[in-house]
Amino acid sequence: MALVAIGGVAVVTLALTGAVSPTSGLSFSPSGHWVVNPGLGLVLHVNGASRSVDAKAAVPGLAPGDSVVQGDSSGYVVGPSQATQFGKSDLAVTGSTPLPVTGEHPVLLETDGGPYLVFRDAGSVVRLGDTMTVVPAGGKLGDPVAAKDGTVWVNRVDTGSVCDLPKAADQLACPAAAPPGHAGALTLVGEKPVFVDTTAGTFSAVGPGGLEPAVALGVDVPPGARVAGSDAQGRVAIFDPSANRLHLVDTAALTRDRPGVPPITVDVPPGDYATPAATGDTVALLDKHGRTLRTYGADGRGRAVTPIPAEPGDPRLSKGEDQRLYIDGDAGKHVVVVDPDGSAADVPVVADPPKQAPPVAPPPVTPTPPPPSPSSGRPDPPRPPAPPKPASTRPAAPPSRTTPPAPPAPPASPPVVAAPATPPGVPGGLSASVSGSTAAVRWSAAAPNGAAVTAYHVSWARSDGSGAGSLDTAGRSASIPGLVAGATYRVQVAAQNSAGRGAAASTTFTRAAPKPSIKISRGTRPQGDERDCDQPEDTPSCAWMHVVLTGFQPDTSYHVQPNASNSGYDNPGLTKSTDENGSMTLNAFYYYGVGNTVWVTVGSVSSNRLVWRAS
């Protein structure tokens, strides 16, 4: 395989230089990393071993934010709506295929039988090849992992199902499931899938009959903790963004060969960190906004802090099938390569290596005849007669040395032709903060790419696709009103110039649901229905209970049950639905027992206790 990979690089390199004819149909073992450089109109291959660019291919229509995923014999440029295939042997584009999901950037996986695109929000797994295979998962997915045998593992966020897609399969099998309501993520320990339950603080190996017995992590992590997709020498990296802590959890107890040792916890500087990645005995933590890569050993010791060159958009961290880590950006001008031993290097992405100018030869010099030799006592040999000189009225000039000719003037530089404008880059620093029912969205300027940015297009929707909206603005902020309590939203921002609309930045946010509460007070006396307060002794003590529910699920039916301290009180209550904000107001449950205590319950939620007064 190593010889085939080396031969593949040699062939594509020769194909670029024209030394050999392109070889069609040859399969190459995936290695290195392809990067999109829209400014050059090229996709370029970075050789992770030599840390150099060794191949390139021209692909039309490249845009910032596009990515490349590779299989055995082809690479695929993945854009917002289509995948463009090119051959790795002849570097020629063979066609484009529409993607089944648009508006969502998928997770790219390179593994045997792939490559794959996993659309987490849409719940779809796509296998690329000469024909595209779409495998629906039925619901939103967590981060996928891919084993070396070609099996892709995913977990359903809503049901907790843990599913696998073997090489060449066209449907998922789900042999295991997490407990209902438990959050978590998948990882690989060696090649064995493991589910990390961040709700329970445990992890379990995935077996053919379900999840194997759970083992305590030994450290408290929040449900939103981020789990590396593979282990680093038997330790799983878990990042806690709420505390800026990296936990390295020993997995020995999963193999039953020995008990695990306590986790290692590392405090990291504040930052906007992506999900950690592991290779060899190294854990990499990428601060996207700080543009810094921090690497740690499996023992928790820091190894290196590597700056990421500035480019539009957030840097992306991915793992190649060669087990190296690669960090690139939307402009594709640099790739940082991380080896399994933790060493990292920046590889500038250029179309051609720099060439040295050939040496300039010095101008020829006409030799000067030697002076006459001094007299030796002998007469000089006779000289031939000189030719007759033309008549001249000017005296003859004395003889002089021949002047060397002036060097030729350098050729004129060709005129500089401005590159045509392309759509803008991805807006940076996208963030959203929620206050009440409104989100304030902000971002930094997108790279104009040859033409001024004239507008930013902002769009949003809830995670289930409802509540969608959009607006255009010339500024770099926007407000999204009418947020539903407890709902999670995805917002996207794309820049526009005269060449078109660029790729969008996206982020998610949630309007927190208030804690359910019930408040009761004395209401008014029932009007027009004397059956409720028809006894003289009931007046004026008889009145409705005024009940206000807030913070419940919107548009949901609840049974409201009144209660009283006197044992003879009996009221069946009623069932009604909350409004779109999760609220409900009732005037119901007439009461007249002066001096008794009344209250209302909805499930396990209880109201305040009210002592009933005469008026």
CATH number of the domain that residue 323 is part of: 2.130.10.10
Amino acid at 84: T
Whether 521 shows a pLDDT value over 80: the answer reads yes
User: Could you give the CA distance from residue 112 to residue 75 in angstroms, rounded to a whole number?
Assistant: 14
Token pair of 44 as six digits: 């370029």
Same domain, 106 and 244: yes
Whether 421 shows a pLDDT value over 70: the answer reads yes
Give residue 93's pLDDT: 92
Same domain, 498 and 556: no
Coil, strand or helix: which one is 586? Answer: strand
Which range has the top average pLDDT, 115-119, 157-161, 365-369? 115-119
Provide the greatest CA pair distance for the chain: 167
Whether 393 shows a pLDDT value over 60: the answer reads no
34, 88, 90: which is closest to 62 by C-alpha?
Answer: 34
Q: How many domains does the chain have?
A: 4
- Confidence category of residue 537, pLDDT binned at 50, 70, 90: low
The domain that holds 8 is classified in CATH as 2.40.10.480
Single out the residue in 321, 348, 375 at which a domain terminates.
348
User: Could you give the CA distance from residue 505 to residue 503 in angstroms, rounded to a whole number?
Assistant: 7
Coil, strand or helix: which one is 55? Answer: strand
Same domain, 88 and 106: no
For 527, half-sphere exposure in the C-beta direction (CA atoms, 13 angstrom radius) is: 3
| Averaged pLDDT, 382-391 | 51
The domain that holds 527 is classified in CATH as 2.60.40
Same domain, 457 and 567: no
Q: Out of 144-148, 161-165, 378-382, which region has the weakest mean confidence (pLDDT)?
A: 378-382
458 within domain boundaries: yes
User: Could you give the CA distance from residue 478 to residue 472 in angstroms, rounded to a whole number?
Assistant: 9
CA 171, 175, 178, 183 torsion: positive or negative?
A: negative
Give residue 258's pLDDT: 61
Whether 77 shows a pLDDT value over 50: the answer reads yes
Single out the residue in 99, 122, 149 at which a domain terminates.
99
User: Could you give the CA distance from residue 44 to residue 38 in angstroms, rounded to a whole number?
Assistant: 11
- Confidence category of residue 19, pLDDT binned at 50, 70, 90: very low
User: Could you give the CA distance from residue 485 to residue 555 in angstroms, rounded to a whole number?
Assistant: 12
The domain that holds 493 is classified in CATH as 2.60.40.10
Contact 186, 195 (CB under 8 A): yes
| Averaged pLDDT, 407-416 | 52
| Averaged pLDDT, 181-208 | 91
Single out the residue in 310, 329, 348 at which a domain terminates.
348
369 within domain boundaries: no
High-pLDDT (> 90) share of the chain, %? 44
Q: Around Cβ 27, how many Cβ atoms within 10 Å?
A: 12
Coil, strand or helix: which one is 254? Answer: helix
User: Could you give the CA distance from residue 120 to residue 187 in angstroms, rounded to a whole number?
Assistant: 16
- Confidence category of residue 2, pLDDT binned at 50, 70, 90: very low
Same domain, 195 and 317: yes
30, 132, 8, 146: which is closest to 78 by C-alpha?
Answer: 132
Coil, strand or helix: which one is 298? Answer: coil
User: Could you give the CA distance from residue 100 to residue 124 in angstroms, rounded to a whole number?
Assistant: 9
Give residue 14's pLDDT: 36
Domain span at residue 253 reads 102-348
Give residue 460's pLDDT: 94
134 within domain boundaries: yes
| Averaged pLDDT, 458-469 | 89
23 within domain boundaries: yes
Q: What are the helix (H) ranges across 151-239?
A: none
Same domain, 480 and 549: no
Give residue 388's pLDDT: 52
Same domain, 337 and 207: yes
Coil, strand or helix: which one is 292? Answer: strand
CA angle 192, 197, 217 (to 5 degrees): 80
Q: Out of 369-383, 426-440, 441-455, which region has the weakest mean confidence (pLDDT)?
A: 369-383
Q: Around Cβ 164, how many Cβ atoms within 10 Å?
A: 17
- Confidence category of residue 535, pLDDT binned at 50, 70, 90: low
What does each C-alpha distance from 43 to 46, 251, 321, 406 come to in angstroms? Answer: 10, 39, 18, 46
Give residue 49's pLDDT: 85
412 within domain boundaries: no
Same domain, 473 and 591: no
422 within domain boundaries: no
Higher pLDDT pick, 250 / 527: 250
390 within domain boundaries: no
Same domain, 467 and 590: no
* pLDDT tens by residue, 292-350: 999 999 898 888 889 898 888 789 898 887 889 999 988 888 899 998 888 888 888 88
* pLDDT tens by residue, 570-595: 899 999 999 988 899 999 998 888 89
Same domain, 94 and 121: no
CA 127 from chain centre, in angstroms, equals 19
Give the global pTM: 0.55
483 within domain boundaries: yes
Same domain, 131 and 272: yes
User: Could you give the CA distance from residue 441 to residue 226 in angstroms, rounded to a whole number?
Assistant: 24
Same domain, 47 and 89: yes
Whether 443 shows a pLDDT value over 60: the answer reads yes
CA 117, 122, 123, 125: dihedral to nearest 10 degrees? -20
- Confidence category of residue 256, pLDDT binned at 50, 70, 90: low
Cα-Cα end-to-end distance for the chain: 90
Token pair of 331 as six digits: 């402009």
Amino acid at 586: L
Residue pointed to by tokens 């950006």: 329
84, 82, 115: which is closest to 99 by C-alpha?
Answer: 82
Coil, strand or helix: which one is 116? Answer: strand
Whether 28 shows a pLDDT value over 60: the answer reads no
User: Could you give the CA distance from residue 521 to residue 259 in angstroms, rounded to a whole number?
Assistant: 59
- Classify 167 in phi/psi space as left (phi over 0), alpha (psi -120 to 50) or beta: beta
Give residue 404's pLDDT: 53
